[in-house]
């Protein structure tokens, strides 16, 4: 039998369509009746937000390729234009399902629980009166309607802002009548407003901002009649372009680019489904869009703004139960973190275990006279960051503090520029990594004098130094005083802050130098074991699998008899279960309460399991265009923990798992007659505080 062509495009799932399948799985969580009702609403909002970013980055990039006449094809052999057509078809289906779930499932279910969204036709006289007064007091002073005529051209519309196109009859004080006006709703306005108890018809009675404006739009145009008012929203290209070879100051270049993001090329138009065709055509013309870029919706054009509802409704029974992250036993009885780490490595599994020890370690270092230097990478930190506060305190206490801030953390650029300025004012050295390579590695290095020697303490993680996402994302972090790991981290920081050749690392793997070829070598080693008749297995957990050389190597491993289990939350371009190619590969995705973010790579290695954790997914950008770290779990007990908690529990999950089929679709696992198992629930039960 001839060996198959492992580069055959039919063996590769399109990256964009795979990402949309991930969003479909997120959306399906809003239908899961085992999930609390307000959390189901959140999943609907998350799916909407995911689509926003998908258009702002992925669709925008494809549209740019088409405009440049690019015919570049990926491993799946689809051109940019072909991908855009398939995306449009898929997203129109997804959006239709989103609004069906909102209108036919969630809103009725919420109303049964006393959470009501009052529509204009159902308002009582008292409610209509309150809405009118609210409009005049809170909205009328801040709304700026623009009648379109030669002196008032179509306004610049902010990315993802709420707007209304209004059809008018009559003439104004100057005899003008263009027939069309635009009303822009400032972002500061809430999108849902709770009705007061004096006129509410339910314990929690809400009205949409759009309904309030629709009901009172005539007041914006005195003496004229509004014959139609239709909401719309435009999504724009939000990827920042900075020419690496021509930039002298990356911070200043990004500061200059940020304002343009709000008014860059349009890539999608969302408009009310009752908007007349001629007005839809008018808007399409204004934004230079095609029919397949238009999405007519039955409800608010920005479902993500409904994310405010759960915080406004005090119903714990409709939300996930709260929990307190746990602590490893060794940290409970010894507050001296340096002493604990010196005696042995510490593994933290978030969010089931607390992120606080990472912040506490940095705070302890900031106040310890024996600590001489601190080095840290920051990608996303969030507001009021304990990490940042500790770094500022350390700098003010005279420590040598060096922070590598990745300015180009998508949608966090402005926050990171502000962070950089704040740290510099405190006396920290701030650098922005290497131009052309995003610094995505998660590293903290503390240098401490102990007697006659200097000792390095290190934290390495799979996720950001962000306290809030550490409660929402699954990640692992390792705290260690291992000498060789400390030297490796020191060497990587030298690369990022100074100039020179990449030094040989003893234990860590690093992108863009050794990670890709090391992963390929580990896969080849499993192939050799399988061909020699020895047990061979690979288990890998990550956010995305895209890189074609890795996929081809996994196909070869499958053909050689290596058993491969992949736990991939989002995009997966590998096609499992293809006869003669990938019959030994199983792919599953876990969608649950927490966002799966951990990257773990386990190679059986003839019984001497090697386990690695990383900040990197198996994607081209992570291997070749980013600075990433991948660190071994060498302590036997911790290695067993990572395999059990990070891999085996997820392979046994039969309630939150979706299995990828060879046609690119996913099927949700069901327990059947087996005992229901949820990896995230098991980890909460075992690791969180009782």
Q: Which residues are catalytic?
A: 440
Which residues contact residue 516 at a Cβ distance below 8 angstroms, ignoring those fewer than 6 apart?
547, 549, 550, 623, 624
DSSP secondary-structure letter at 176? Answer: -
- Cα torsion at 407, 410, 412, 413 (round to 10°)? 40
- Please state, in angstroms and rounded to a whole number, the distance separating the CA atoms of residues 22 and 660: 11
- Please state, in angstroms and rounded to a whole number, the distance separating the CA atoms of residues 488 and 494: 10
CB 648 within 8 A of CB 641: no
CB 686 within 8 A of CB 641: no
DSSP three-state, residue 116: strand
DSSP three-state, residue 446: strand
Q: Are strands 610-614 and 626-632 parallel, antiparallel or unpaired?
A: antiparallel
- Please state, in angstroms and rounded to a whole number, the distance separating the CA atoms of residues 234 and 645: 43
DSSP secondary-structure letter at 300? Answer: -
- Please state, in angstroms and rounded to a whole number, the distance separating the CA atoms of residues 660 and 120: 44
CB 214 within 8 A of CB 232: no
- Please state, in angstroms and rounded to a whole number, the distance separating the CA atoms of residues 372 and 399: 5
State the alpha helices, DSSP H only, in 447-569.
483-497, 515-531, 548-560
- Please state, in angstroms and rounded to a whole number, the distance separating the CA atoms of residues 163 and 182: 7
- Burial label, 356 (beta-carbon count in 10 A; 0-12, 13-18, 19+): middle
From edge to edge, which strands make up the β-sheet containing 204-208? 115-117, 204-208, 192-194
The closest alpha carbon to 616, from 490, 487, 507, 509, belongs to: 509
- Please state, in angstroms and rounded to a whole number, the distance separating the CA atoms of residues 341 and 349: 16
């Amino acid at each position: 039998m001839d060996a198959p062509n492992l580069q055959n495009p039919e063996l590769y799932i399109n990256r964009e369509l795979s990402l949309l399948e991930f969003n479909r799985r997120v959306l399906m969580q809003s239908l899961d009746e085992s999930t609390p009702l307000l959390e189901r609403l959140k999943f609907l909002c998350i799916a909407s937000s995911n689509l926003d970013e998908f258009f702002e980055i992925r669709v925008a990039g494809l549209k740019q390729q088409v405009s440049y006449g690019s015919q570049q094809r990926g491993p799946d052999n689809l051109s940019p234009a072909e991908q855009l057509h398939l995306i449009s078809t898929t997203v129109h289906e997804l959006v239709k399902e989103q609004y069906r779930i909102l209108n036919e499932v969630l809103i009725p279910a919420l109303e049964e629980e006393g959470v009501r969204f009052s529509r204009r036709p159902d308002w009582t006289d008292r409610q209509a009166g309150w809405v009118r007064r609210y409009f005049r007091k809170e909205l009328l002073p801040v709304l700026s309607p623009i009648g379109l005529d030669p002196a008032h051209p179509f306004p610049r519309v902010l990315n993802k802002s709420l707007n209304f196109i209004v059809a008018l009859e009559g003439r104004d004080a100057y005899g003008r009548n263009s027939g069309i006006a635009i009303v822009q709703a400032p972002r500061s306005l809430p999108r849902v407003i709770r009705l007061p108890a004096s006129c509410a018809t339910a314990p929690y009675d809400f009205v949409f901002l759009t309904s309030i404006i629709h009901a009172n739009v005539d007041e914006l145009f005195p003496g004229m009649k509004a014959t139609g008012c239709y909401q719309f929203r435009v999504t724009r290209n939000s990827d920042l372009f900075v020419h690496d070879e021509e930039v002298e100051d990356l911070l200043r270049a990004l500061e200059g680019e940020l304002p343009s993001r709000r008014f860059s090329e349009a890539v999608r138009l969302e408009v009310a489904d009752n908007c007349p065709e001629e007005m839809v055509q008018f808007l399409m013309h204004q934004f230079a869009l095609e029919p397949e870029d238009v999405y007519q919706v039955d409800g608010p054009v920005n479902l993500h703004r409904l994310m405010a509802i759960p915080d406004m409704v005090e119903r714990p029974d409709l939300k996930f139960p709260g929990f307190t992250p746990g602590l490893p036993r060794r940290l409970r009885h010894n507050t001296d973190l340096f002493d604990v780490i010196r005696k042995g490595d510490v593994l933290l599994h978030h969010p089931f275990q607390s992120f606080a020890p990472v912040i506490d370690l940095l705070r302890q270092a900031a106040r310890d006279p024996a600590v001489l230097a601190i080095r840290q990478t920051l990608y996303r930190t969030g507001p009021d960051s304990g990490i940042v506060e500790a770094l500022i305190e350390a700098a003010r206490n005279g420590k040598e503090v060096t922070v590598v801030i990745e300015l180009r953390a998508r949608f966090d650029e402005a926050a990171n520029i502000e962070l950089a300025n704040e740290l510099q004012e405190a006396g920290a050295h701030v650098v922005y990594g290497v131009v052309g390579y995003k610094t995505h590695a998660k590293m903290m290095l503390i240098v401490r004098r102990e007697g006659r020697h200097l000792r390095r303490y290190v934290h390495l993680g799979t996720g950001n130094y962000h306290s809030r996402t550490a409660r929402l994302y699954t990640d692992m972090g390792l705290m260690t005083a291992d000498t060789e790991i400390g030297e490796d981290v020191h060497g990587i920081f030298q690369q990022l802050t100074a100039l020179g050749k990449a030094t040989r690392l003893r234990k860590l793997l690093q992108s863009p130098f050794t990670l890709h070829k090391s992963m390929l070598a580990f896969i080849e080693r499993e192939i050799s074991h399988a061909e020699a008749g020895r047990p061979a297995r690979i288990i890998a957990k990550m956010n995305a699998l895209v890189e074609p050389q890795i996929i081809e190597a996994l196909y070869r491993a499958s053909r050689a008899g290596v058993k491969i289990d992949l736990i991939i939350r989002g995009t997966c371009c590998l096609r499992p279960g293809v006869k003669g190619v990938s019959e030994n590969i199983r792919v599953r995705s876990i969608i649950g309460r927490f966002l799966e973010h951990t990257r773990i790579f386990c190679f059986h290695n003839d019984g001497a399991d090697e386990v690695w954790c990383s900040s990197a997914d198996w994607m081209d950008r992570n291997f070749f265009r980013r600075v990433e770290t991948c660190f071994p779990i060498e302590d036997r007990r911790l290695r067993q923990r990572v395999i059990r908690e990070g891999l085996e529990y997820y392979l046994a999950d039969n309630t939150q798992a979706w299995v990828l089929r060879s046609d690119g679709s996913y099927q949700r696992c069901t327990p059947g007659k087996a005992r229901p198992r949820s990896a995230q629930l098991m980890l909460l039960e075992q690791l969180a505080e009782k």
